[in-house]
Chain A
Amino acid sequence: MKGRFNGFIILSLVIAVSLALLAPPALAGKKDDTLYVAFEKELENVDRYFNTAREGIVFARHVYDNLLWRDPQTMEYKGLLAKSWTWVDDLTLDLEIREGVTFHNGAKLTADDVVYTLNWVIDPANKVLVRSYVDWMKNVEKMGDYKVRVHLVKPFPAAMEYFSGANPIYPKDYYAEVGPKGFGLKPIGTGPYKCVELDPGKKYVLVKNENYFADSPKGQPSIGKIVWRTIPEVNTKVAELMTGGLDWIWLVPKDQAQKLAQAPNLTVVAAETMRIAFLMMDAANRTEETLGIKNPFKELKVRQAVNYAINREAISKNLVGGQSRVVDSACFPTQFGCTSDVMKYEYNPEKAKKLLAEAGYPDGFEVDLQGYRDRPYAEAMVGDLRAVGIKANLVMMQYSALREKTSAGKVQLNFQTWGSYSINDVSAIDSYFFLFDPMDMTRDPQVRDWINEGDSSIDPEVRKAAYAKALKRIAEQAYWVPMFTYVSNYCFSKDLNFVPNLDEVPRFYLAKWN
């Protein structure tokens, strides 16, 4: 028996060693002109009209083209598949389509493709996931081989934004033939990269499009091949980066990113994003009815106390790090219409306690703080609140569950974040939270009216004035606690020349080897 056991050990060792020898060597990216990148979330469907996650946007920017293009540095709009455009009137937009562009399967881009794609996605029967991308358009008319006319449903100042960010053009014949199902397995676009291998959710391989049209403002792609993998565990991603199995990762937690920055073969960039973190409070006083409990947040002084209690500077500097900054207003600082000329609440726990006592809560109170992401930040907030006597119980749940609860008016203190979908306009954030929609925990008719004014006007000065009034009132009424901006940590090989953008969309078609 002893002999059998020993023999067994030897056998296992032999097997282990031989398996190890079968392990493929880690490929260095620059040597074979292949960029290995990893994302944490699976991208199940590469059809831009049927995914809502950031990974979908990234894929789309590389494999497809939109009609317009927004410069990531200057925020200016330029023509991409459209050569030029003219507003005939508030409800009509004419676009001239560029000639000489071909799809990855060789088909030539014409007005037919634009008309087909847009009319198809406008049609509700096709169940496009994000209606707001398309339901502002009534239909699209063909005016010539390279000319189209878009009819709007209502005046829509953000039309340029959506044409540059949201609506890629697909090849008519191919899409009509294979439909979204086939397209999801084999996508065809006009973009700087072609998708040659696709394992839905697991792995994508993109190769440089040698025939990418020369006039594109996106430039010409430099890196030959991109291998995109999904790795859910952050430590595994980092381990792969350290051993050369990956060349680029993002969303690295601050502490790890700082340590990685010390590695001689890695570059770390802690870039700011458009996402902001904020607390919403039940100012509309719905929870007294829906939950039958006392609602301290209907008092202005309580809301102000919470604003004074949170040490936003400390969280921003120590937990988020990098280029994060404190925000004082219910918007991201560069967004059109945003102003920080509002009432500010500095970190002052003593003042917070005083205000609580004045409001009738000298010993504080107990409350549920609901959140759906970034638990460490939420924990820091809980700690700050605790120090002024507010016993916050942290309750984390899935985004969809929290959203349902908020809609039902069952949340008193809500830790939310918003990326504005990288749209640089106040309408991309405040219109979701102050227009008496489900996520509106404030329900202030004055704020609603001002924001509506800003949303529906075309005159930029009118818009700015209206938004400023709304933001001032939001701050002085302490409806929110605007806290800080998010930072995304990018870690990549020193061989790679990569520049991150504010909109959190990595553009590998602009990257090159050093």
Chain B
Amino acid sequence: MEAEKVREGGFEIGLGLEVVFPTPGQIMQRRMLAHKGFLIGGVVFILVVLMALFAAQISPHDPYRQDLAQRMIPPIWQAEGTWNHPLGTDSLGRDYLSRLFYGCRISLLIGFTCMLIALVIGTVLGLTAGYFGGKVDLAVSFLITVRLALPAVLVAIAVVALIGGSMKVVIIVLGCLIWDRFAVVLRSSTQQIRSMDYVSAAKAAGCSVPWIMIREIMPNLLNNLVVVATLEIGRAILLEAALSFLGMGVMPPTPSWGLMISEGKEFMLFDPYLITIPGVALFILVLGMNLLGDGLRDVTAPEGRT
């Protein structure tokens, strides 16, 4: 609908006057600015990145400094809150606001890198499986099934027992564990697209296989890919929370939203702010990512293209 409008805006009127067609770049810009979801998502994303980059400057306290005499102070909106610690302190007396800012870095880093690793692995596997079918498909299905049948917990415990826990380990372990959704979704989408006309046309024209995969099939997978990618970022961060809770994730006292969430579980009944604050932060981040992903897809490949 929006595309038509723009096209409408560029036509020739009589009397020798010419209206210039907007360039593709200008079209994109206009679409972006008009798409509310994209804007909100973009703003959230930028804010979060800024928080992460400038955590040191905006934090009122050292996120690692513990003071057992000041533990469990509630946030400012509760009776015993104080402006010295606007979001309160945790069970070791560390300032929660500062930990939230610093935690941004860790969680973003983990969320993105895990998702990227998983994306690469899963896309390669899913694409090749869906396109070639036959033996390749069997091999990939085999890999996917083996991966899914192995409890992730088992892999994590074993790896940590061998190597010890650290952020690098977490990212690698998670990245190697969450590619399954990418692979499965892309495999079935590729299967669908493979038999489309334009693919057969490209084949008939003698295009090489990689060319077909990248130029013809991938763009049409981007929709589903983006959907899954935005989901996986949130999933990666939550998995990190679970691993941290089991003692296998980021090591304390490093602040990470995942670790803050799992450590807050113990206090959920009576001091819910410990979990709610990083939980809400995570919710906003994931919502932003989703809006951004949806927006990106709407803006770059609007409905109508098959």
Contact = CB atoms under 8 A, between A and B. Distances in A.
A–B: direct contact at CB < 8 Å: yes
Interface of A: 234-235, 238-239, 253, 255-256, 259, 311, 314-315, 318-319, 368, 375-376, 378-380, 382-383, 386, 393-398, 401
Contacts of B263: 375-376
Contact of B253 (A239, A255, A318, A383): A383
Contacts of B247: 375, 396-397
B164 A368 contact: yes
Interface in B19-68: 64-66, 68
B133 interface: no
A379 B65 CA distance: 11
Contacts of B68: 311, 314-315, 318-319, 380
B161 interface: yes
Interface in B63-77: 64-66, 68-69, 71-72
B164 A380 contact: no
Nearest to A400: B161
B160 interface: yes
Given A382-B252, A386-B64, A393-B251, A239 B161 contact: no
A235 B265 contact: yes
A256 B264 CA distance: 12
B12 interface: no
Contacts of A235: 265-266, 268-269
B216 interface: no
A235 B266 CA distance: 7
B269 A382 contact: no
A220 B66 CA distance: 50
Q: What are the nearest 5 A-B pairs in CB distance?
A: A396-B247, A383-B66, A259-B270, A314-B68, A318-B68
Given A383-B253, A393-B251, A394-B251, A318 B71 contact: yes
Interface of B: 64-66, 68-69, 71-72, 91-92, 157, 160-161, 164-166, 247-248, 251-253, 263, 265-271
A395 B161 contact: no
A235 B268 CA distance: 8
B252 A255 contact: no
A398 B157 contact: yes
Given A255-B91, A394-B253, 19 more contacts: A235-B265, A235-B266, A239-B269, A253-B266, A253-B267, A255-B270, A256-B267, A259-B270, A314-B69, A318-B69, A378-B252, A379-B66, A380-B66, A383-B66, A383-B253, A386-B253, A395-B165, A395-B251, A396-B248
Contacts of A368: 164
B164 A395 contact: yes
A393 B165 CA distance: 10
Given A376-B91, A379-B253, A382-B252, A401 B270 contact: no
A401 B271 CA distance: 34
Contacts of B69: 314, 318
A394 B252 CA distance: 6
Given A238-B269, A255-B270, A311-B68, A397 B161 contact: yes
B69 to A, nearest CB: 7
Contacts of A398: 157, 161
A394 B251 CA distance: 6
A379 B92 contact: yes
Contacts of A314: 68-69
A311 B93 CA distance: 14
A484 to B, nearest CB: 13
B164 A383 contact: no
B78 to A, nearest CB: 14
26 contacts: A235-B266, A235-B268, A253-B266, A255-B72, A255-B91, A255-B266, A255-B271, A256-B269, A256-B270, A259-B269, A318-B71, A319-B68, A319-B91, A375-B252, A376-B91, A379-B252, A380-B66, A380-B68, A382-B252, A386-B253, A395-B165, A396-B248, A397-B160, A397-B161, A397-B247, A401-B161
Contacts of B161: 397-398, 401
Contact of A255 (B160, B251, B267): B267
Contacts of A386: 64, 253
A511 B157 CA distance: 41
Contacts of A383: 64-66, 92, 253
A202 B165 CA distance: 32
Given A379-B92, A380-B92, A386-B64, A234 B266 contact: yes
Contacts of A375: 247, 252, 263
Nearest to A380: B92
Given A238-B269, A314-B68, A318-B68, A376 B165 contact: no
User: Which of B65, B252, B267, B271 has its CB near the most chain A CB atoms (within 10 A)?
Assistant: B252
A54 to B, nearest CB: 21
Contacts of A393: 166, 251
A214 B144 CA distance: 65
Contacts of B160: 397
A380 B267 CA distance: 17
A383 B65 CA distance: 7
Contacts of A318: 68-69, 71
B258 to A, nearest CB: 14
Contacts of B265: 235
Given A315-B68, A397-B161, A382 B270 contact: no
Contacts of A253: 266-267
B208 to A, nearest CB: 46
Nearest to A258: B270
A366 to B, nearest CB: 12
A400 to B, nearest CB: 9
A311 B69 CA distance: 12
A190 B165 CA distance: 49
Nearest to B94: A383
A319 B269 CA distance: 18
A382 B253 contact: yes
A314 B267 CA distance: 20
A78 B118 CA distance: 65
A417 to B, nearest CB: 16
Contacts of B91: 255, 319, 376
A239 B269 CA distance: 8
B92 A376 contact: yes
Contacts of B248: 396
Contacts of B92: 376, 379-380, 383
A380 B65 CA distance: 10
User: Which of B68, B72, B157 has its CB near the most chain A CB atoms (within 10 A)?
Assistant: B68
A29 to B, nearest CB: 21
B291 to A, nearest CB: 25
Contacts of B271: 255
